[in-house]
Amino acid sequence: MSNEENIGGESLEKKPLGPPKSTIREYFESFVVTLVMAIFGMTFILQAVTVPTGSMQNTILVGDYLLVNKFIFTPGGYELPFLPQREIERGDIIVFKYPGNKVRPEADRSRNLIPYQINYVKRVIGLPGETVEFRDNQVFIDGRLLPEHRVLGDADDNQSALEVTEFEERRPEETYSVYYSKETMDAVKAGRKLTRQGYEFGVAGKPMLVPANSFFVMGDSRDNSEDSRYWGFVPRDLIVGRAMFVYWSCDRAASNGDFFGCLTHPRLGRIGKFVK
């Protein structure tokens, strides 16, 4: 048979077909494409982080593994209308690089904390240009009370979550909950002045103006959180993204430090839980 066919009076040469792909080659090519897509996604869109401390309990528990949306916030505050992005808002739970304690750098050195390397997870409370003051277990923005649903929450050595007691009815404008110990709430009710060692920013009698392109953040477990009250503001360029949901969770206390404890003691009820 001729390698040429006559179509419409013109000669069209057939190109020889290459050898068929082997199964191994097809699997390899699929693996490479998947790997490239995964690297792209983890670099520009998503990131996985774990939560080692209880500063965000009970919103986020120790042992939760979070998926972070790195794409949602507009870069540098400049909104691109053709992309599904927005500016950082109050109430967002963000992941950011620890900015370091500029007032007491020796506190970081004593705990081997290196600024700009470890990831922190906190809730955005104060926006650029706002004045923040935390007093009597309440937050005031520009002198006005910030609506937050306050809950009594005390740690139990045998539990990974705070034991909570509702003592204030949630109002419609209170979109998230924060947790205070019974001890500090009793002190507030008794009219005693609360002093928290090391807290310097935005505390009672020392309202602080949030600088441009910076944010004031706090943990939801208010009596167990070293946050902007302790080390200051979070610059915009240190923010990694917004915490989305829990993709895995394990009870580290129950594992007693076992290497495979996070696999043998999962908290299945938290998997897939959206963080808000």
- CA 176/CA 24 separation, integer angstroms: 52
- CA 128/CA 195 separation, integer angstroms: 26
What are 4's strand-pairing partners?
13
SS3 202: coil
* pLDDT tens digits, 227-250: 999 999 999 999 999 999 999 888
Tell me which residues of the chain have a pLDDT lower than 70.
1-46, 75-83, 156-159, 254-261
Residues 6 or more apart whose CB falls under 8 angstroms from that of 96 comprise 119, 120, 122, 217, 234, 238, 239, 240
- CA 123/CA 96 separation, integer angstroms: 11
pLDDT at 40: 42
Among the listed residues 156, 150, 116, 127, the one whose alpha carbon sits nearest the alpha carbon of residue 238: 116
Query: Is 221 exposed, middle or buried (CB count within 10 Å of its CB: 0-12, 13-18, 19+)?
Result: buried
Supply the mean pLDDT for the chain: 82
- CA 19/CA 199 separation, integer angstroms: 71
pLDDT at 38: 46
By the 8 A CB rule, do 141 and 130 touch?
A: yes
The amino acid at residue 230 is: Y
Output the CA–CA distances (angstroms, integers) from residue 95 to 103, 141, 149, 177, 254, in the order listed: 22, 22, 22, 19, 26
- CA 129/CA 11 separation, integer angstroms: 75
Domains in the chain, start-ordered, CATH in brackets?
44-270 (2.10.109.10)
